Chain A
């Protein structure tokens, strides 16, 4: 088991190293001189030359990367051009809001999707099934930002039940969490439903029924437990999509998180901040997956012995 966790840890470090290379290369994707990218349009040639030299952009790429990664490992992710502060500090300020939003979305989607998926499977081909599958189908086809705007239109503008934007108490969290969680909810509903349908035909379920376990006991104790493993896998993989969705959701709801920070930074051409945020958000995602990998050990005893 220790070997398994160590292997996962090593793999995570490797992935993070790769991510750092991608993030470092980012500004080199710019057409022309990356130094020009960091300056306003029509900057003088000597200013460009100065920036190029000051940031070491005249050095060979591997030297530049070495400097970048050495600084990053020491917690220096560069200076934000817009805020004129270390990028790391700014991002850490915004990170709690993003974590709050992504977890609220995750909790919302699971709380709705798991019961809905179970109900759809157990009451197959009834109105519950059609309702659940209909919601899932629409949820998968609806762009997150548009759903957000529609929710604002109905619940904030028309009904005035909820604030339209900003961060504060729980009432501020509800609409963004529903918006961000909707695609995941759709996916998990389908997953739980199809997983349940497969499981309910299994021998051990028939055995449980035969020995007189109540129907809800069969579903909750025997079937649901076995749904957990594919569920954790999907949640782990989809957490990245959730973080990506947060970028858009935060923009729609003016939610003060890292996602909105990135979009604003792109607009302000604050590329060091974009690089730092991409690195940290990816790091957060890798960390979540590492935690889930360890969680597997508890959910699935087979992992422990292999």
Chain B
């Protein structure tokens, strides 16, 4: 059964079945396009996936090899170099994007800052996805009181603006990397739970599930073996679109001083560092913001492309 779950993404027939399950258009689609490309081929053909993926890959590599490629120590204070303006490569890599109010190299801090953004973005999505998928699965499968309870919990969570809840929680629990990931992880589950619940409801009514139940499959087997494999596509699509949101949330909390604490470089923290120097040193605020925006753009491109390929009807 595990094999079916893992094989759900790369092979075409299975993914076509996924769409068929969600949309009931299986036959129609295969009639229109008799020779279907595999999912991998379609992903490779998607300009958005390739463009977003390439930019992301570069940022990931920069984060991983930060020690090797950063021109300077990101935490080394040098008061002589306070707010040095960008030298635009005329003096090599160091200070090519200028220095911050403590004379630290902005480029190096951006490179190291990528680590926090990517780490928090991916782990928070992993955590919220796991919680959300599990709750959505339970709500959709068991229905009744379980469903009612989980969906009311979702309503309550939605009633509190996410960033407000995150600010309050991080403020109380103490700002550090672990708390940041936990808080973003637990505040982000609703979108998964609601979507997955809907998919489970439609899958549960399908005949193959009925057949499995009739053949004596227990809850566990039906859920994990027959229903779960059909949830991967929507789950991957939501997750890919949530990474950008989580990266923005992390940076916003860091901007407010509630993220990973200085001197560790974070993009949000760097933007906050430059706030007081907009008039004299615009680069301190502008540079990390541009990189942050590019990263989120790349993630969103990738996510949108992925959605178009995997699940074309699933929009907004």
Interface residues of A (CB under 8 A from B): 11, 14-16, 18-19, 21-23, 26-27, 29-31, 37, 137-138, 140-146, 149-150, 152-153, 157, 187, 190-191, 194, 234, 237, 240-241, 243-245, 247-248, 251, 259, 262-263, 266-267, 269, 271, 274-275, 278, 281-282, 285-286
Give Cα A241–Cα B162 distance, bound, in whole angstroms. Answer: 7
Q: How far is the CB of A175 from chain B (nearest CB, A)?
A: 13
A282 and B161 in contact (CB under 8 A), knowing A145-B252, A248-B255? yes
At the interface, is chain B mostly helix, strand, loop or mixed?
A: helix
> Which residue from A14, A26, A259 sits with its C-beta under 8 Å from B169?
A26
Contacts of B160 in A (CB 8 A): 19, 22-23, 240, 278, 281-282, 285
Give Cα A153–Cα B316 distance, bound, in whole angstroms. Answer: 33
Contacts of B165 in A (CB 8 A): 22, 278
Q: Scoring B residues 252 to 275 as 1 if CB is less than 8 Å from chain A, else 0, what string do you get?
A: 100111100000000010010011
B161/A194 in contact, CB under 8 A: no
Contacts of A153 in B (CB 8 A): 278, 282, 285-286
**Additional 14 contacts, C-beta under 8 A, given A144-B252, A251-B256:** A18-B156, A21-B156, A26-B172, A29-B169, A140-B296, A141-B300, A149-B289, A153-B286, A191-B316, A234-B316, A266-B167, A269-B171, A275-B168, A281-B161
Instruction: For A265, give the chain B residue with the smallest CB separation.
Output: B171
Taking residues whose C-beta sits less than 8 angstroms from the other chain, chain B's interface range is: 35 or more
- Can you show 12 pairs from A to B with CB atoms below 8 A apart? A18-B152, A26-B172, A29-B172, A143-B292, A150-B289, A153-B278, A187-B316, A194-B316, A241-B162, A274-B168, A278-B165, A278-B168
A140 and B172 in contact (CB under 8 A), knowing A241-B162, A267-B257, A282-B159? no
* Interface membership of B28, Cβ < 8 A: no
Q: How far is the CB of B172 from chain A (nearest CB, A)?
A: 5
> Which residue from B268, B279, B296, B315 sits with its C-beta under 8 Å from A141?
B296
Instruction: For B285, give the chain A residue with the smallest CB separation.
Output: A149
Contacts of A191 in B (CB 8 A): 316
Q: How far is the CB of A69 from chain B (nearest CB, A)?
A: 15
Q: How far is the CB of A230 from chain B (nearest CB, A)?
A: 8
Give Cα A245–Cα B252 distance, bound, in whole angstroms. Answer: 10
Q: How far is the CB of A151 from chain B (nearest CB, A)?
A: 11
B167/A262 in contact, CB under 8 A: yes
B289/A143 in contact, CB under 8 A: yes
Give Cα A277–Cα B160 distance, bound, in whole angstroms. Answer: 11
Contacts of A143 in B (CB 8 A): 248, 251-252, 255, 268, 271, 289, 292-293, 296
Interface residues of B (CB under 8 A from A): 152-153, 155-156, 158-165, 167-169, 171-174, 244, 248, 251-252, 255-258, 268, 271, 274-275, 278-279, 282, 285-286, 289, 292-293, 296-297, 300, 315-316
Give Cα A149–Cα B286 distance, bound, in whole angstroms. Answer: 9
Give Cα A191–Cα B316 distance, bound, in whole angstroms. Answer: 7
A31/B174 in contact, CB under 8 A: yes
A262/B168 in contact, CB under 8 A: yes
Q: How far is the CB of B230 from chain A (nearest CB, A)?
A: 25
Give Cα A37–Cα B174 distance, bound, in whole angstroms. Answer: 10
Instruction: For B297, give the chain A residue with the smallest CB separation.
Output: A141
